[in-house]
Amino acid sequence: MSDPVNAQALDILFRKARTHNSWLNKPVSDDTLHQLYDLMKWGPTSANCSPVRILFLRTPEAKQRLLPALSPANVDKTMKAPVTAIIAHDMKFYEKLSKLFPHNPGAREWFSNSPELAETTAFRNGTLQGAYFIPAARSVGLDCGPMSGFDNAKVDQEF
């Protein structure tokens, strides 16, 4: 077991971390988004499957594409956010298992032979990675406003 993180880190990640609904008018750099992804991707998943796929929306045009899928209460804060992340999952994540889970060459077939298992695993582990995303974002200095007020089918269709 490693040493525990300090109290300040715990405050940033959890104790003083609340859902934010307003944002500074300050861009988020590509470098910061890369740092965020490079940190969160290491969170453990079942068989290291890592099915999450993240789409970062920063431009007004990209956010306009998202607009029809948003619940009315989420429109203003999403449009004003410097970046919005769509957390999705890849249903064919198992195609990458030879790299992510190399010590078991047969792992791909667990999922390629069972679409239902692949879907369940992608959903569970993609959701888990979405949860890792929040403290990773906070650890690189970003606030988060996670939301579920959107039409999932519309997001899937548009993106």
- Quickly name the fold that domain 26-158 has: NADH Oxidase (3.40.109)
pLDDT in tens, 11-54: 999 999 999 999 999 999 999 999 999 999 999 999 999 999 99
Mean of pLDDT values over 98-111: 97
For 56, the 3-state DSSP assignment is: strand
Assign 80 a pLDDT band (cuts: 50, 70, 90). very high
pLDDT for 143: 95
Mean pLDDT for 143-157 is: 96
Q: Any idea where the domains of the chain sit in the sequence? A: 26-158
Q: What is the mean pLDDT of the chain?
A: 96
Q: By three-state DSSP, how is residue 129 classified?
A: helix
Query: Global pTM?
Result: 0.91
* Whole-number pLDDT of residue 2: 85
The pair of structure tokens assigned to 85 is 């992340």
- Check residue 139 and give its pLDDT: 96
User: Closest by alpha carbon to 100, among 125, 65, 75, 70?
Assistant: 125
pLDDT tens, position by position, 49-67: 999 999 999 999 999 999 9
Does residue 1 surpass a pLDDT of 90? no
What is d(CA 83, CA 54) in angstroms, rounded to the nearest whole number?
12
